[in-house]
Amino acid sequence: MLTLTKEIHSLIQAHGVATYPNEGCGVLLGLAEDGRNQVTAIRPLPNVWPNEDEKPMRFRIDPQDWRDAEFDALAEGLDIIGIFHSHPDHPPIASPRDLAWASWPGYSYLITEVRDGRPQASRSWQLAEDRSGFVEERVEIE
Amino acid sequence: MATIRIPAPLRPYAGGNSSVAVAGGDVSAALADLGQQFPELRQHLFDGEKLRSFVNLYLDKQDIAKLQGLATPLTDGDTLLIIPSIAGGGH
């Protein structure tokens, strides 16, 4: 389960709008306890997908940006507990591309649809233990 | 001994630890020691004998790929970070 506040969800939606029509991305910071990922902050990161024309349907996070976010989280007593990204004009469903480049079970993959430049619903996914696919998790926006 | 920081989702496979002290004179030996201490963790870092393609290792702030790779020497007090490469796309 993923929990976050309305304010944080609004920030994630706003980032998706700001980066539209490209995919926007970043990391979810917070605490992971007993299967519950609780977001307390986010850090938007650049989409460094190498082909500009493909950014409306692809994203990549530079490992060095992730490293910097990791150090910042550590300084605040937080962890990176997931990734957020937008799907411009596409449903917030984990795609075969998301699966192909997934990392570890346990991270929340929060996806926000942005349609015609306006933010829509978000859904969250976690990689199955056997890496065979993504399993949807409950999102609680408090 | 060096220390390896464990990413949050991998801690259940590492006894709940956020960092683990490891023996070994280079990155390869340190990872082997980590795998011996926590065998369930190994599958998340390695695919067979090779590091998974999305796994990057940083020695403090430097990518070991830009040092000597898995042969990068470690000394007491060094900290290794495990950093994933993340990508994806809507369709």
Say what the ipTM of the complex is.
0.92
Separation of alpha carbons A131 and B44, rounded Å:
10
CB pairs under 8 A between A and B: 94
Q: Report which secondary-structure segment, H or E, holds A7.
A: helix A6-19
Structurally, chain B folds into a number of domains equal to 1
Domain contains B91? no
CA A111 to chain centre: 6
Domain containing B14 equals 2-84
Rounded average pLDDT over A67-72: 95
Domain contains B65? yes
- Specify whether A23 is catalytic: yes
User: pLDDT tens digit string along B1-20?
Assistant: 999 999 999 999 999 999 99
Confidence category of residue A9, pLDDT binned at 50, 70, 90: very high
Task: Provide the CATH number for the domain around residue B47.
Answer: 3.10.20.30
pLDDT over threshold 90, residue A34? no
Domain contains B90? no
pLDDT over threshold 80, residue B91? no
Tally of CB atoms within 10 A around B60:
11
Contacts of A25 in chain B (CB under 8 A): 86
Separation of alpha carbons A95 and B87, rounded Å:
11
DSSP for residue A9: H
Catalytic residue, from A23, A33, A70, A137: name it.
Answer: A23
User: pLDDT tens digit string along B19-55?
Assistant: 999 999 999 999 999 999 999 999 999 999 999 999 9
Beta strands in chain A (DSSP E): 2-4, 25-33, 36-45, 59-61, 79-88, 108-115, 118-127, 134-137, 139-141
Domain contains B12? yes
Contacts of A60 in chain B (CB under 8 A): 85-87
Of B44, B58, B88, nearest to A104 by CB-CB distance is B44
Rounded average pLDDT over A32-48: 95
Tally of CB atoms within 10 A around B58:
23
* Residue B86 to residue A67, Cβ atoms within 8 A: no
Which of A87, A101, A129 to substitute to test the interface with B, most B CBs within 10 Å? A101
pLDDT over threshold 80, residue B84? yes
Using alpha carbons only, what angle is made at residue A34 by residues A1 and B35, rounded to the nearest 5 degrees? 115
Domain contains B8? yes
Size of chain B in residues: 91
pLDDT over threshold 90, residue A97? no
- State the DSSP string of chain B: -EEEEPPGGGGGGTTT-SEEEE--SBHHHHHHHHHHH-HHHHHHHEETTEEPTTEEEEETTEEGGGTTGGG-B--TT-EEEEEE-EEE---
Domain contains B89? no
Distance from the B37 Cα atom to the nearest Cα atom in chain A, whole angstroms: 20
